[in-house]
Amino acid sequence: MLGNSILLAFREIRRNVLRSFLTILGIVIGVAAVITMVTIGGGATAQVSQQISSLGSNLLMVTPGKRLGPGQSSDTVPFKVSDAEAITRDIRSIAAVAPVSSQSLQAVSGNENWSTNVTGTDNSYFKVTNRSVRTGRTFSETELRSGAAVCVLGETVRKKLFGNQDPVGAKIRLQKLSCKVIGLLETKGQSTMGQDQDDLVVIPLRTLQRRVTGSQNISLIQVSVQDGASTEKVQQDIGKLMRERRHLAADEEDNFNVMDMKEITKMLTGTTQMLTALLSAVAAVSLLVGGIGIMNIMLVSVTERTHEIGIRLAIGALEREVLLQFLVEAVVLSSFGGLLGIVLALAGSLWLSGLLNVPFVFNAGIVVVAFLFSAAVGVIFGYFPALKAARLDPIVALRHE
């Protein structure tokens, strides 16, 4: 009986192809929109996680200043190199500690110049931030101790100053400081916040302090925690150590921050997932609109086929058989719309992933849920028209022209 109902449903769909297509258009758009939103949202979440993990494994960022809100701080008491040395000496489970001081400077080579971020640090910086040198080398111990005028370039700076040439061995000028290029970093691309991670020049910390800033202060301490160790425990230990070194009383607030990159990852991915859910919920409204469209067309179909229904009931067809016929027809329509929506969504997601430069993350679960939901829409919105057809009086139906 079910097989016969399915065949009759396909016959009715073929009889009115254009009307059937327009009927399921809401379902197609709804399914396609929901799957596309979830797929692109999943790709964006994966990209955020990947970009933050590329900043460094098990990374903690120790910065001066009270945390008042996004981008706000007060009572900034800068760190000294001795603070970074104390973390290395007194805190367990530390893989590497990099003291960092940065300043925006104009880099000049020949007739080319470029405003870039100059970072003063030591070789631990490359380990903490998962950066490697593509050509050349990092700093020697002698260069770090003496504050030698040497530097390692990021890819963006290399392109702006040297084009496609290898810069190793050449000299550039950073304001009044002339330094020799000894290495070129591997490309890292943009960060989650849209910052170009390759737009930098790395020089020894002592060189920056002595010959650029004239200050012994450092603005950031980056800490890499050993694999398998608890970043939360290390974070707490660093907090206690910094309070001791800054002579803060028990009732005084921290005038520094110890941020775990895992927390930032959770916050950003949570925000992305929430936005994806909201957009998907909005897109799902199209499924309800499509369901109403199916109900309207099925009611029209019942009216058009009243005489046919009367004949079936008069020759012995049961109410449940007529009910099943129209219900199956509604489910077939909505399911077909769901399949078209899935195909459209996957094609659109692939195109948008390339356009937005986010990874394509196939989510089989949302595809299955969207298809089942589209079929459920057919059941819910097709039931009333099917029930109306099943309850027709055969005598009245036969008189209908």
Residue 215 Cα distances to 48, 56, 66, 211, angstroms: 35, 27, 22, 9
Give residue 330's pLDDT. 80
Alpha-carbon gap, residue 236 to 222, rounded angstroms:
15
Domain that holds residue 95: 66-254
Are 138 and 170 in the same domain? yes
Q: How many CA atoms lie within 13 A of 244 on its CB side?
A: 10
- The residue out of 207, 222, 254 marking a domain boundary is 254
Are 192 and 274 in the same domain? no
Are 15 and 97 in the same domain? no
Are 84 and 217 in the same domain? yes
| Residue 235 forms part of a structural domain | yes
Residue 335 C-alpha from the chain's centroid: 31
Confidence at 255, pLDDT banded by 50, 70, 90: confident
Interior angle at CA 195, CA 182 and CA 68, nearest 5: 120
Token pair belonging to 313: 């009931």
Q: Residue type for 1, please?
A: M
| Residue 260 forms part of a structural domain | no
Element (H, E) at 9: helix 2-15
Residues 47 and 366: beta-carbon distance below 8 Å: no
Biggest alpha carbon–alpha carbon distance for the chain: 106
| Residue 216 forms part of a structural domain | yes
Token pair belonging to 131: 């950066």
Residue 74, pLDDT > 60, answer no
| Residue 3 forms part of a structural domain | yes
Residues 297 and 26: beta-carbon distance below 8 Å: no
| Residue 61 forms part of a structural domain | no
Are 87 and 41 in the same domain? no
Q: Residue type for 235, please?
A: Q
Give residue 174's pLDDT. 92
Are 23 and 1 in the same domain? yes
Q: What is the pLDDT of residues 117-167, one digit of tens each?
A: 999 999 999 998 888 999 999 999 999 999 999 999 999 999 999 988 999
Domain count, the chain: 2
Give residue 147's pLDDT. 92
| Residue 58 forms part of a structural domain | no
- The residue out of 205, 225, 254 marking a domain boundary is 254
Compute φ and ψ for 368, nearest 5 degrees: -65, -45
Are 213 and 113 in the same domain? yes
